Amino acid sequence: MQLDKNVLYEFMNSQAGGCRVLVVGDIMLDKYYYGEVKRISPEAPVPVTRVIREVETLGGAANVAHNLALLGCHTSLVGFTGDDYHCRILLDKLSLKKIDYTGIVHTPAPTTTKLRIIGGHQQMLRLDFEETSPSEEKYQMAIQQRIDSKLAEGIDSVIISDYGKGLCTEKLCQYIINQCHLHKVPVAIDPKGNSWHKYAGADYITPNLKEINDILPMPIENKDEEIKKAAQYIRRKYKIANVLATRSECGLSLVGSRRATHIPTLAQEVFDVSGAGDTVIAVFALALAGKIDPENGAYLANLAASVVVAKLGTYAVSRDELIDKLS
């Protein structure tokens, strides 16, 4: 691999800010109630949690957009929300991060929200507010119009962030991929589930090992040669040009038509991989937007992931942190 750290440093330091990346996907709000448990309820055999603090964060495709915004590029977000209290919280947070949310379409369904109750250091309960069935045709058409509008304004790369909440139907994914190709814009997919034919024609897909095993006839181990063979199977079967496999403590593997590049993790210790996939696809798509060679882009994404997995809890790396890592 012809790694050029000087090119990456110059890109992050002076060029990334001019890149324009569009995220299309399942938008969520993550809510956390942290408290302490000292007694059992007299009403039922359940613990009583006294809430000490409340945290609300961007989740799903909104977290991918959050990662991009912290990297300093122009970030746009397209997806569904409800017209409700949770949506207003989301829009406030997107506005604070200077993320363009004019691509959001409001539907009668609730804004997808994950509410977690934490007692001490233990998650005790999760409440999901969501509607996962595909939306009506008129709302899907509205999403297509938002995508057309953003591409017409000028976009350098597109991310499809599929969390299986109903937005990323086969029809919509194929529409996005075809429109991106018409505009000569690379598209990268963060997949969900095992129906990957809907991603056919994509330039890149970024599955983790579990997601790879979910669609293989036989599961594989986290070894370079097995990952390479699995990626070639994915490329052939689903007609996807390149596979960027995220491998936790084993780093990343980029497999295309001509070669496979395996990049070991740079983290000294891996504490928590939550959110690392969002960081990888955000940094990699930003590199694509800046016309950085894909192998160098994969190295940059791996470098960002090494920061994230060394932190406890979901964490988004900033542009300054990534520049410091490079230098």
Model pTM? 0.93
pLDDT value for 271 = 54
Q: Is residue 269 part of a domain?
A: yes
Amino acid identity, position 203: D
Q: How far apart are CA 1 and CA 181, in angstroms?
A: 27
Active site (annotated) includes residue 148: no
pLDDT tens digits in sequence order for the chain, 327 residues long: 557 788 898 999 999 999 999 999 999 999 999 999 999 999 999 999 999 999 999 999 999 999 999 999 999 999 999 999 999 999 999 999 999 999 999 999 999 999 999 998 888 999 999 998 878 899 999 999 999 999 999 999 999 999 999 999 999 999 999 999 999 999 999 999 999 999 999 999 999 999 999 999 999 999 999 999 999 999 999 999 999 999 988 889 999 988 999 998 875 565 545 668 899 999 999 999 999 999 999 999 999 988 877 665 566 788 999 998 888
Q: Give the CA diameter of the chain.
A: 66
**Dihedral sign (CA 188, 210, 81, 275):** negative
Q: Which residues of 48-61 are buried (b: 16+ CB within 10 A; e: fewer)?
A: ebeeeeeebbbbbb
Q: What is the pLDDT of residue 147?
A: 98
pLDDT, position 258: 87
Identify each DSSP E strand in the chain by its residue range: 20-25, 27-40, 47-60, 74-82, 100-107, 113-119, 122-129, 157-161, 187-190, 204-205, 242-246, 252-255, 260-263
- Closest of 272, 266, 263, 298 to residue 188, by C-alpha: 298
Instruction: Using DSSP, state whether 37 is helix, strand or coil.
Output: strand
- Per the residue annotation, which of 278, 293, 320, 324 is the catalytic one? 278
Give residue 149's pLDDT: 97
Domain presence at residue 120: no
pLDDT value of position 5 = 83
Residue 121 lies in a domain: no
Q: Is residue 40 part of a domain?
A: no
pLDDT of residue 307: 82
Query: Can you give the pLDDT at residue 109?
Result: 95
* CATH number of residue 321's parent domain: 3.40.1190.20
**Helices (H), ranges, 154-293:** 170-182, 209-215, 224-238, 276-289
CA 292 to chain centre: 20
Q: How many domains does the chain have?
A: 1
In a domain, 34, yes or no: no
162 within some domain = yes
Residue 54 lies in a domain: no
Q: Is residue 52 a part of any domain in this protein?
A: no
* Domain of residue 165, residue span: 5-28+59-111+132-326
Sort residue 311 into left (φ over 0), alpha (ψ -120 to 50) or beta: beta
